[in-house]
Chains A and B, each alone.
Chain A
């Protein structure tokens, strides 16, 4: 009995610390899941004078991928996007975040361009509205304009298979 209380305390503390070990504190859960996505009206990166409007994509699910040519993890993610774009399941819209247009265009020319539209968010306003705090981040927005899923960090084939495809199937996209 005499040693029981310290032992229990020790075990309790151990469990608490162990639970904290595997946690990635950089993953901040977004309060925007299941909330309407912010609307935007931004310049299109690839066609001067053209605009990219969020409402263009209303009615059907779409993906918004936040990227920048300065972002190393985006480069790592890029082949996955190129691959996904080939499936033509749903529109893939890029949000070019705090980037330089010329560098961004060169980046797409060199690595390939998976996007159906690329909105330029040079000031980072729209990114704030989406609660973006790093790149890459990817949002799955449904036909009603509601954010259904957010991937923090690079999208991978596994994430697409386990998180995006099932949600799209539930929305009736095959």
Chain B
């Protein structure tokens, strides 16, 4: 029984530990900046995760790389550029607005506008549907 309790305590404590390798942050601001940046970078191995959350070996290497670039005084944009040069816009969860990403950015908006236009034209065409009751004629009541 006692052993089971101790084992359980260890299991619970383990979940408290940082899931991801700890980096030697100097202060909280630095850690916050790192986390914000890492969350915007896609892990290329497990593509629906960012590099902050991924446990893949490459994500770990990239976290280290990002951390060291931060320490070297590089700006967020410089770090993103470093990664884009090597892995393409695909690493960015918010890709830049340019010719190759135009459809990505504008597409959904166009579909929405087209949807409204179609809905509007359908609603205006032909007046009320014959099966629907017409406007209530309040004169009948009196």
Interface residues of A (CB under 8 A from B): 5, 25-26, 28-32, 98, 123-125, 127-134
Residue pair B88, A29 in contact (C-beta under 8 Å): yes
Give complex CA distance A86, B126 in Å.
77
Count of residues in B whose CB is under 8 Å from the partner chain:
16
Q: Mark B33-66, 1 if CB is under 8 A from A, else 0.
A: 0000000000011010000000001100110010
B64 to chain A, nearest CB (A): 8
Secondary structure of the A contact surface, majority rule: loop
Residue pair B88, A128 in contact (C-beta under 8 Å): no
Residue pair B61, A123 in contact (C-beta under 8 Å): yes
* Residue in chain B with minimal CB distance to A38: B86
Q: Does B85 belong to the interface (CB within 8 Å)?
A: yes
A72 to chain B, nearest CB (A): 15
With contacts A31-B87, A128-B86 taken as known, whether A133 is within 8 angstroms of B45 at the C-beta atoms is: yes
Q: Does B97 belong to the interface (CB within 8 Å)?
A: no
Interface residues of B (CB under 8 A from A): 44-45, 47, 57-58, 61-62, 65, 84-90, 118
B60 to chain A, nearest CB (A): 9
Residue pair A31, B84 in contact (C-beta under 8 Å): yes
The 6 A-B residue pairs whose C-beta atoms are closest, nearest first, are A133-B44, A131-B86, A31-B88, A124-B61, A28-B90, A131-B87
Residues of A with C-beta under 8 A to B58: 124, 132-134
Picked from A31, A124, A132, A133, the residue with its CB within 8 Å of the CB of B85 is: A31
List 8 contacting pairs A-B, 8 Å CB cutoff, sorted by A: A28-B44, A31-B84, A31-B85, A98-B61, A127-B61, A128-B62, A128-B86, A132-B58
Residues of A with C-beta under 8 A to B118: 5
Residues of B with C-beta under 8 A to A28: 44, 87-88, 90
Given contacts A30-B87, A98-B61, 11 further A-B contacts (CB under 8 A): A25-B47, A28-B88, A31-B85, A31-B86, A98-B57, A128-B61, A131-B86, A131-B87, A132-B58, A133-B44, A134-B44
Give complex CA distance A128, B64 in Å.
11
Give complex CA distance A104, B86 in Å.
26
Picked from B47, B57, B88, the residue with its CB within 8 Å of the CB of A124 is: B57
